[in-house]
Amino acid sequence: MLTIKKLFTNKYFVLTLWFGLSFIAAIKELLIHQINNYKIYKYTFYNLIHQQNLFSPYPQFFEDKNHYGPIFALVIAPFYMLPDAVGVLLWSTFNTFVLYKAVTLLPIDTKKQVAIFLICAHELMTASFSVQVNPFVTAIIILSFVFIKKEKDFWAACMVALGTFIKLYGIVGLAFFFFSEHKLKFTLSMVFWSVVFFVFPMLFSSPQFVVQCYQDWYHSLSDKDIQNSTSTMQDISVKGMARRIFDVPALSNIWFLVPGIILFFSSYIRFDAFKNVNYQLLILASTLIFPIIFSSSSESPTYIIAFVGVAIWFINLNRPVTSFEWFLLIFAIVITSFSPSDLFPKYLSTHVTKKYGLKALPCLMIWLKIVYETWTRRIEQQPAAPIAVTAS
């Protein structure tokens, strides 16, 4: 038992899992020719430079449709000219590395960083199986927080704007505005970067086409929201759970989103805690989980965003960790992370967790616990005791 504990707290072993599982997932997708998401991403650049609708179906190239903003076409551009096999592996590695780098910049010690990598390694693999952009989006949200903490508001605003112009989830980075020591600089920087990311795609296309792209993007997201309401693969959210469990297909998200927003912002009543690192990390964890559990667009690979929030919450707990907190973490690992995989009984996955959208349940419970902690945690406490990790 001691040897196993040392192995799973060893920095180099955990990082091997982090990068290795993600890389293996990408290879598997190549071998079974399931790189549809990558092709959607890749052809956004092609369609941008040829001024073709970014959000129309192109069945000759890929299934489904693109749902990312015009600036994303330039993010994927360096991979466009590469053979698909090379591009997929590099894209997956890029996503894995950027998220790794973002976590290492958090104001926590190396031991806690390693704990985050261990907790999230399997969920990252799930995202990599779909060759998803979500690890990159997670990193952008974390970097928004990190740059504000480092008083680099210009770059914090860059991250928030970039995340928003790629995928609307990125706008949650504004949650860290209250921690900024230079709020005017941050606000002006947001205006600057919003203009930059709006205009930049025009250099590869035309102003008229890019303006039209944003109108098309709005309609694309509106249509997708309607489709998600009846999908079994999408809407893995609080609302999605409720509509599946109670069999109410037309259930409106407003009944869940409004209370969720009120609870989210209720965490900011602790004005005297704004400079406390533990409190700030609670807000970061809440911010990563919130948009996923309340979004009708959430699907299984999206949960890498929320699961990093779960890991940040856990490493930030007071020590010793209570039995209930251990239960919440294990419940999240089993139901949120493992249930869509072969590590979970297939019958239960098909007829219980997927059928009722229960992947969202542990994250909801942890998010509510986080909100409660933001109300009640003593802000004068010392940082949580480190989790033992060996470096060899």
What pLDDT does 2 receive? 55
Cβ atoms of residues 190 and 157 within 8 Å: yes
Domain that holds residue 231: 2-376
d(CA 34, CA 58) in angstroms, rounded, equals 16
The structural domain count of the chain equals: 1
User: pLDDT of 290-346, one tens digit each?
Assistant: 999 999 989 999 999 999 999 999 999 998 999 999 999 999 999 999 998 988 999
Asked if the model's pLDDT at residue 3 lies above 80, the reply is no
Does residue 169 belong to any structural domain of this protein? yes
Nearest residue to 14 (alpha-carbon basis) of 83, 103, 108, 133: 103
- Collapsed DSSP state (helix, strand, coil) of residue 10: strand
Per-residue model confidence as pLDDT tens digits over 209-248 = 999 999 999 999 988 888 877 666 788 999 999 999 999 9
65 to 22, 28, 120, 166, 387: CA distances (angstroms)? 24, 23, 28, 15, 43
**Residue in 173, 80, 95 with CA at minimum distance from that of residue 133:** 95
Average the pLDDT over each of 6-10, 57-61, 97-101, 370-374 and give the range with the smallest value. Answer: 6-10
Peptide bond into 291 cis (omega under 30): no
Measured CA to CA in angstroms, residue 168 lies from 28, 88, 162, 198, 244 at distances of 29, 24, 10, 14, 25
Mean pLDDT for the stretch of residues 142-165: 98
Range with the poorest average pLDDT among 61-65, 136-140, 217-221: 61-65
Q: Which tens digits make up the pLDDT trace of 239-287? A: 999 999 999 988 888 999 999 999 999 999 999 999 999 999 999 999 9
As a whole number of angstroms, the distance between CA 134 and CA 290 comes to 15
Q: What pLDDT score was predicted for residue 382?
A: 43
Three-state DSSP state, 386: coil
| Apex 336 CA angle, 231 and 329, nearest 5 | 155
At residue 385, does pLDDT exceed 60?
A: no
Position with higher pLDDT, 304 vs 3? 304
Q: Give the mean pLDDT of 58-67.
A: 90
Measuring CA to CA, how many Å separate 36 from each of 39, 40, 42, 130, 306? 5, 6, 10, 8, 23
Write phi, then psi, for 150 (nearest 5 degrees).
Answer: -90, 5
Q: How far is CA 303 from CA 49, 77, 387, in A?
A: 32, 25, 24
Domain membership flag for residue 175 = yes
pLDDT given at position 250: 83
How many C-beta atoms surround the C-beta of residue 151 within 10 A?
Answer: 12
Asked if 388 contacts 9 with a C-beta cutoff of 8 angstroms, the reply is yes
Average pLDDT of the chain to the nearest whole number: 92
Provide the 10 A C-beta neighbour count for residue 104. Answer: 14
Taking the C-alpha atoms of 154, 156, 161 and 162 in order, what is their torsion angle to the nearest 10 degrees? 110
Instruction: Provide the pLDDT confidence category of residue 380 given band limits of 50, 70 and 90.
Output: low
- In this predicted structure, the answer to whether residue 44 has a pLDDT above a threshold of 80 is yes
Burial group, residue 139, by CB count within 10 angstroms (0-12, 13-18, 19+): buried
Split at pLDDT 50, 70, 90, the class of 388 is: very low
Residue corresponding to tokens 């192109």:
58
What is the dihedral angle through the alpha carbons of 288, 293, 294, 300, rounded to the nearest 10 degrees?
A: 100
Task: Note whether residue 387 is domain-resident.
Answer: no
Q: Is residue 299 part of a domain?
A: yes
Match 């209250």 to its residue by tokens.
Answer: 178
Residue 255 has φ and ψ, to the nearest 5°, of -70, -20
**Spatial separation of the C-alpha atoms in residues 359 and 244, rounded to whole Å:** 12
pLDDT higher than threshold 70 for residue 387: no
Domain for residue 47, yes or no? Answer: yes
